[in-house]
Amino acid sequence: MTPQHHKDRVIIIGGGIQGCAAAYFLAKRGQTVTLLEKDNIARHASGVNAGGVRRLGRDLAEIPLSLAAMDIWNHLSDEIGDAAMAFHPSFYVKVAIDEPGHIAGMARAEALQQAGFQHEVWLDETEIRKRIPCLARNISAKNMAGGEISGGLVVEGDGWAIPWRIVRGFADAAVRNGATITEHCHVESLKRQNNMWQIHTNAGDFEADIVVNCAGAWAADLARQSGEPDLPLTAYAPMLAVTERRPQILNAVMGILGHTLSLKQLDTGQFVIGGGVRADADIHQNEAGLSIPELATSMYRAAQLFPDIAHAKIIRCWSGIEGYMPDNLPVIGRGNQDGLVHGFGFSAHGFQLGPAVGEALADLVMGQQPRTSLAAFSPQRFSA
Ligand SMILES: Cc1cc2nc3c(=O)[nH]c(=O)nc-3n(C[C@H](O)[C@H](O)[C@H](O)COP(=O)(O)OP(=O)(O)OC[C@H]3O[C@@H](n4cnc5c(N)ncnc54)[C@H](O)[C@@H]3O)c2cc1C
């Protein structure tokens, strides 16, 4: 069989949220774009994450991008149609259960005010309890140093989404606007020749003016192969658990200041529990590990906030392969070589950013000014 040979202006590698959102924004602006995905759309981190649409607690450098993303989330049906119904805005709260958490929360609220950001506010205990009446009174147990809830940081309008539906929504919207998406297409080599990228895959050869590297935890391998300097990307497997259905008691997404926890209750009544707990990942075998003892620490914390959770059966645990950078900030920017743009390394908090990252990657491809500065995310920051 003669290998297929395709020619495009832009090839995106990776069908996670970043790649699909970039494909959508490029296609919407009339670019000829093909996305190549080695497995299925949303097969990895983007489809199996906790779906937290969270501005709360972002690194200061990431806040403008996160706010830009929220603008898109708030009008998502204009971009991806009915799939946007998979986003459930509510509010996000991180409560203080001990003195270090209280001090850190107050300091954070103050620092953000001083930096001119209004979205994170400190609410006292009475306000928090008014909004979440089922919250436990006395929090002191295994794995918890605390006692009483003394208040918390809140962001109105943050919430959660069913992640794979959102990613699929961007992919479908990209196709409606003229993009081509090819699944089960593994990019095996990538080289720049005669001012074009030559892309060799298991499903034929491709040629493009510009390559956008949205290959998640696999992205540094691709970058290296294309001749870029080494980028310090490490793969891990953040973990989650989901319970059986329980009566509705939680209308927010919750965390604890100074302790790792992410907790939400879906509209089915099920609790999704995780946040910050991770196992090993093997990118070559496509394998994400699971450590039940580690994950149990999140379950204990969740059950201390809401004693009912202690009675809820865990029905499934899982993890996904995610790429982390040493400074926990993503890599978003032009590579050293002509026609190469990177968008990866989201360090377990890239889902909420996705819509704005897709838009920014489209800007970079088209030589336009992104709506927020990407300086903190420069791929070159590690070689300086
Ligand atoms: C369990 C878990 C919980 C999380 N919770 C949250 C949360 O609540 N909120 C939040 O904001 N973020 C969260 N995250 C992080 C978020 O999911 C990721 O940051 C984000 O999905 C990364 O998107 P991506 O498109 O860069 O990567 P991915 O989704 O990994 O997509 C990259 C794609 O590239 C493909 N690919 C790789 N190499 C090749 C190749 N050579 N050829 C073709 N295709 C290739 C892969 O198959 C993959 O599908 C969580 C992550 C996990 C795993």
- pLDDT at 1 (0 to 100): 38
| Ligand 1 center–CA 290 separation, angstroms | 17
Mean pLDDT of 73-96: 97
Amino acid of residue 115: A
User: CA torsion sign, 34 to 335 to 72 to 69?
Assistant: positive
Ligand 1 close to Cβ of residue 92 (< 6 A): no
Nearest protein Cα to ligand 1, atom 53 = 320
pLDDT in tens, 127-155: 999 999 999 987 765 455 556 889 999 99
3-class SS at 113? helix
- Six token digits for residue 323: 């790429």
Ligand 1: nearest atom to the Cα of 160: 8
- pLDDT at 215 (0 to 100): 98
Ligand 1 close to Cβ of residue 275 (< 6 A): no
Q: Which CATH architecture is the domain 5-51+164-231+327-382 placed in?
A: 3-Layer(bba) Sandwich (3.50)
Structure confidence at residue 2 as a pLDDT band (50, 70, 90):
very low
- pLDDT at 232 (0 to 100): 97
| Ligand 1 center–CA 33 separation, angstroms | 20
Which region among 17-21, 143-147, 224-228, 313-317 has the lowest average model confidence (pLDDT)?
143-147
State whether CATH 3.90.1010.10 applies to domain 89-158+234-324. Answer: no
The answer, yes or no, to whether residue 169 has pLDDT greater than 60, is: yes
Burial of 51 (0-12, 13-18, 19+ CB in 10 A): buried
Amino acid of residue 339: G
Q: Where are the beta strands (DSSP E) in the chain?
A: 5-13, 33-36, 52-53, 87-96, 121-124, 151-161, 180-182, 187-193, 196-201, 204-213, 234-245, 253-256, 259-265, 270-282, 287-288, 314-319, 322-324, 331-334, 340-344
| Ligand 1 center–CA 97 separation, angstroms | 32
Ligand 1 close to Cβ of residue 320 (< 6 A): yes
Every domain of the chain and the residues it spans: 5-51+164-231+327-382, 89-158+234-324
Q: Which residues of 234-268 are buried (b: 16+ CB within 10 A; e: fewer)?
A: ebbbbbbbbbeebeeebebbbbbbbbebbbbbbee
| Ligand 1 center–CA 321 separation, angstroms | 7
- pLDDT at 276 (0 to 100): 85
Ligand 1 close to Cβ of residue 298 (< 6 A): no
Q: pLDDT averaged over the chain?
A: 94
Question: Ligand 1 pocket test: which of 240, 322, 332, 377 has the largest number of ligand atoms within 8 Å of its C-beta?
Answer: 322
